[in-house]
Amino acid sequence: ALFLWGMYGVVKMLLLGDPLTGTAYPYLLIIGGATAVLFGGWQSRGTWNIIKTLGANLGLGIANFPLSAIGTLGDTISYVRLMALGVASTALAVAFNDMAAGLPFPAGIPVLVIGHAMNVALSVVALLAHGVRLNVLEFSNNLGMQWSGYPYKPFSTIRSEEN
C-alpha cells in the first residue's frame, strides 16, 4: 500500500506536473519498495529458520520487484484512465447543455434529451468495457487468481456426468 501511494505521487508528477520533492511520496516509494524487496519473495517453506530462508526470500523479492513496480504503475494509470472517462463524460454533458442553450426554448429540448441519452449510453459502455475489465481481470492478477475454463466449441455437445 505504501508503494502504491508513492506511485500515485509519480502519476501526479507525470500528468499534472506536481513536484515530488517536499512531499511524502519519495519516502513512501522507498519504504514500500524496501518492504516489497524484503518480503516480496516470502513463501512458506515449512521452516521458521529466518536466517536459512532469508537469502532465498531476498533474492525472490529483488527479482520480483521491477515487474511488480511496473505493474503497480500500470494499474494506477489504468485507474487514472477511468477518471479521465468520467471527466470526458462531464465535458460532453456541458457541451450538450451549451448547444441547447444557444437554441430557442422548444428546439433545445430534443438536443438535451438526445444528447444526454447518448452520454448515459456511452457511460454504460465505458463502465462495462473499462471498469469491469479493470476490476475483474487486471486486479485479479494482483490476487494471484488464474482464470480457467474450457475451449469454445460451438458445434459440439457437452455430455453430462450424471447419465
What pLDDT sits at residue 81?
85
What pLDDT sits at residue 101?
94
What pLDDT sits at residue 156?
73
Which residue stretches of the chain have pLDDT < 50? none
Indicate the domain borders of the chain.
Answer: 2-143
Tell me which long-range contacts 25-29 makes (C-beta under 8 A, separation of at least 24).
Answer: 28/2, 28/3, 29/3
Are 105 and 161 in contact by the 8 Å Cβ rule? The answer is no
What pLDDT sits at residue 133?
79
Whether this model's pTM surpasses 0.95: no
